[in-house]
Amino acid sequence: MQWTFRETTERTVDSEHWEEAAALSGTEVEEIIATYGPVDEAFRRFQVFCTGTQGSGLTTNQSLGSTLVSVRDPFWGVFAGVARVWAGVQLDRPSLSTIPSSDVFGGLPVNMPTSLQIGADHWVVYASPPVDFRGWSARLVLTPAALDFVVGFEPDDGSAVTLTVPCFGGFVEPDGSQNIPARDDSIPDFAEPGQLDEPCVWIPPEPGDVTIRAQITYRVRYVVSGFVEEQPPYEWESDPLTVRVDELRAVNTRPGS
């Protein structure tokens, strides 16, 4: 006996096959949809034929109906090959900038709130190039879901500390500014530590050296021919920015300076 499978052009599951699809995926019938959804609801349909020899010596090619094959079937290799898809992910490291600008002040002044920012061109949704798995097209879609800043401070007189300054806890649509977040003009010029509790803001407490890294947490979705599976979040850091923190000694207030 020989089994022959011939794929049909059908790529979605019609309502009369929802019960069969639900049994294959271990879900309820109500959770099965006919088009895009979770990857557990993605199937390909094959017509099944049985070829054999009867006693008369004649060969038969009998149709036995059709069957569904889940995207999770090892035959496809879609999930065994996730590493292949990750190989196509090439994220640029975010550029970190601060206000006041360290190249203007020569560093960060003590008790002058520092707005921590990254370049807005790095706060974007990224889709990796598609990878083909026997007719399935798989890619990773990374959406920035949170922005934090890791601050390592070494005071001139004291022990080094590392703290995380939270910024965004969800995706924020860019507003056209060059930096994310945009400058908040309501932040005062001076404040002592503990007097101001604002996201994306760090107040240098005393002279020392500080190293700052931006950390983007991405929501990761594995998209297989339009069907989606959530993956663990992915964290990506900027190159470190190391600057000096010191007392503000003079300010030039002349117009145009």
Contact 4, 67 (CB under 8 A): no
- pLDDT, one tens digit per residue, over 44-102 is 888 888 876 555 555 567 788 888 899 999 999 999 999 999 999 999 999 888 766 66
Residue 245's CB: how many other CB atoms inside 10 A?
Answer: 22
- Does residue 155 share a domain with residue 228? yes
Out of 40, 70, 100, a domain closes at 70
Specify whether 62 is located in the same domain as 171: no
Out of 19-33, 129-143, 160-174, 187-201, pick the least confident: 19-33
Q: Are residues 228 and 180 in the same domain?
A: yes
Count structural domains, the chain. Answer: 2
Q: Which residue has the tokens 């990224």?
A: 126
Residue 114 carries which side chain, given as an amino acid letter? T
Residues 184 and 99 in one domain: yes
105 and 66 belong to one structural domain = no
Residues 15 and 140 in one domain: no
- Taking every pair of Cα atoms in the chain, the longest distance, rounded to a whole number of angstroms, is 108
Helix (H) or strand (E) segment spanning residue 166: strand 161-168
Burial group, residue 179, by CB count within 10 angstroms (0-12, 13-18, 19+) = buried
Residues 45, 117: one domain? no
Q: Is residue 180 part of a domain?
A: yes
58 shares a domain with 119: no
Q: Are residues 95 and 61 in the same domain?
A: no
Tell me: pLDDT of 239 over 60.
yes
Of the candidates 207, 199, 189, 129, which has an alpha carbon nearest to the alpha carbon of residue 169?
Answer: 199
Same domain, 154 and 93: yes
User: Is residue 30 scored above 50 in pLDDT?
Assistant: no
Burial class (CB in 10 A: 0-12, 13-18, 19+), 232: exposed
DSSP string, 53-79: E-TTS-EEEEEEEEEEEETTSTTT-TT
- Report d(CA 61, CA 3) in Å as an integer: 10
pTM above 0.85, yes or no: no
- Domain holding 31, by residue range, is 2-70
Q: What is the pLDDT of residue 32?
A: 44
- Classify the C-alpha dihedral 154-158-162-164 as positive or negative: negative
CB 160 within 8 A of CB 101: no
Output the six-digit token pair for 23. 């049994």
Do 40 and 103 sit in the same domain of this protein?
no
